[in-house]
Structure 1
Amino acid sequence: MARRIGTISAVAAFILSASYAVVLAAGLLSLDEPGQPIGDPWFTLLELLILALAPTMVVLMAAVHVRAREARRVLSLCALVFIGIVAALTSAVHMAILVLGRSPQIAEAPWSSVLLSFRWPSLVYVLDVLAWDLFFALAMLFAAFTFEGGGPPRAIRSGMIASGLLSLAGLAGVARGDMDLRNVGILGYAIVFPVVALLLAILFAREDHEARV
């Protein structure tokens, strides 16, 4: 059961995260000038994809935790907790933006840009960076070392380490107040993570097949 759930959630995570990367690229290409916020329909699509991806990642990491060898389950448990924090933070952020940001009374308030804008610095931007550049990175790095051996597990381990380190690197942009530098972190979760999810889907499907034979 755990392997089957792992396969399904990994495929879903791959589709959602790959779709996010495509929509993000389309949104960035639609901008007249770099640094402008992404507009609709791209922005709303990104928000909906994140809201769908958040619980999917929790289910996937739960499957990773169950798969882990007992001696390494403290690592997978930490990864599960960290990805749960990511899901809670990013879901709250993007739901607030979708619902509150569309209210004319709130959108026109003088403090709205400080709370609900994705222009740096704002509360939702800080919380989203906290979720993805710190806790997502920690989840990837802790989960990486539950995959032992060569072949697909080594590829997953390497991918998770790369994803985690790139996401962490985004914090350098926060420290310097440079959001272009912070965008390095996007590579970790928008580009590398979909590849990791695909590799996990292949691994879980293979192990599920072997368990049935």
Structure 2
Amino acid sequence: MQYASKQFEHNLVKIGTISCWGVFLLGIMYIITTALGFLSLKTPHDQIDDPFFTIMELLILFIAPLMAVSVVTAHFYNSPENRIFSMIAVLFIFIAMGITSCVHFVIIILGRYVEFTNPETFTLYFSFTWPSLVYVLDILAWDWFFAISLFFITPVFNGNRLERVVRILLIVSGILSLGGLVGIPLENMLIRNIGIIGYAVVAPFAFLLMGIVFRKKLLTADLHKHRNR
């Protein structure tokens, strides 16, 4: 039973490390693609077009499950007395990633059909021009549920200096993501971009450091294993 527990912990931190670093690498690709997409625009109010838009959509479909796995790893990494907080974080990250995955999968699939591409229908349902159905859902996912998840996962990282840096980045990412909601009552999506900075720019670096924390735990466990042989 003890071996099974140690093997579970070993597999957990290994998968968590890979997931966190995957979030970072794909997140950097997302930042680069988004930047290139913005540079291709004629005016700041235009939407990013293909191929950049489709690449961004596909990247999110890969980032979402990796984020969920990373938070699950953090939950098991957490001390037992604080796991109520990380369990709430797991709940909210799955809601957020589920919503955003549905949004971007629907856009990729249905947004290509003629029945859905007439200007009125497309703008109302599938565009990221305010207001639209997918825009509202994506804001709900990232600026609300994702932000709350980050706030509840922060108690996990309260140990050494590296963990404290992770904690700070998670809090900053959560605050910025939540701040994007201000753009809704003001009907100003440029202000809403504050949220994008939180979850698309700051968060990948927080997950990178989370992966380093898990990696160090994995190396420590392997070292103890070799010493005990």
Normalising by the smaller structure, the TM-score range is: over 0.9
Work out the CA distance in 2 between the residues paired with 1:149 and 1:9.
Answer: 21
Report how far residue 149 of structure 1 moved: 2.4
Please state if 1:126 is matched with 2:136. yes
Q: Residue 11 of structure 1: SS of its match in structure 2?
A: helix
Please state if 1:207 is matched with 2:217. yes
**Structure 2, unaligned runs of 5 or more:** 1-10, 224-229
Count of residue pairs brought into register by the alignment: 213
Report how far residue 130 of structure 1 moved: 0.3
Q: Please, what TM-score do these two structures have when normalized by structure 1? A: 0.97
What RMSD, in angstroms, separates the aligned Cα atoms of the two structures?
1.0
Which residue pairs with 1:187 in the alignment?
197
Which residue pairs with 2:24 in the alignment?
14
Please state if 1:33 is matched with 2:43. yes
Work out the CA distance in 2 between the residues paired with 1:110 and 1:10.
Answer: 40
| One-letter code aligned to 2:114 | P
Q: Residue 157 of structure 2: SS of its match in structure 1?
A: coil
Equivalent positions of 1:46-61 (< 5 A) are: 46-61=56-71
Encode CA deviations 1:26-48: one digit per residue, 9 max, x unaligned: 11111010010000100000000
Work out the CA distance in 2 between the residues paired with 1:160 and 1:3.
Answer: 19
Work out the CA distance in 1 between the residues paired with 2:119 and 2:188.
Answer: 27
Work out the CA distance in 1 between the residues paired with 2:54 and 2:125.
Answer: 18
Work out the CA distance in 2 between the residues paired with 1:182 and 1:170.
Answer: 4
Which residue pairs with 1:5 in the alignment?
15
Which residue pairs with 1:162 in the alignment?
172
Work out the CA distance in 2 between the residues paired with 1:149 and 1:212.
Answer: 20
Name the stretch that deviates more: 162-171 or 100-109.
100-109
Which residue pairs with 1:145 in the alignment?
155
Report how far residue 99 of structure 1 moved: 0.7
Encode CA deviations 1:110-154: one digit per residue, 9 max, x unaligned: 333211111000000000000000011011111112211231110
Q: Please, what TM-score do these two structures have when normalized by structure 2? A: 0.91
| One-letter code aligned to 1:91 | S
Work out the CA distance in 2 between the residues paired with 1:41 and 1:22.
Answer: 13
Work out the CA distance in 2 between the residues paired with 1:149 and 1:180.
Answer: 37
Q: Percent identity?
A: 42
Please state if 1:80 is matched with 2:53. no
Runs of 4+ in 1 over 2 A off after TM superposition: 109-112
75, 82, 85: which one pairs with 1:65? 75
| One-letter code aligned to 1:206 | K
Q: Residue 111 of structure 1: SS of its match in structure 2?
A: helix
Encode CA deviations 1:142-169: one digit per residue, 9 max, x unaligned: 1112211231110110000000000000
Please state if 1:23 is matched with 2:39. no
Work out the CA distance in 2 between the residues paired with 1:47 and 1:109.
Answer: 20
Name the stretch that deviates more: 203-212 or 108-117.
108-117
Equivalent positions of 1:97-108 (< 5 A) are: 97-108=107-118
Report how far residue 5 of structure 1 moved: 1.0
Report how far residue 212 of structure 1 moved: 1.1
Encode CA deviations 1:49-80: one digit per residue, 9 max, x unaligned: 00011111111111001100011111111111
Encode CA deviations 1:75-97: one digit per residue, 9 max, x unaligned: 11111111101111001100111
Work out the CA distance in 2 between the residues paired with 1:129 and 1:70.
Answer: 32
Which one has a bigger Cα radius of gyration?
A: 2
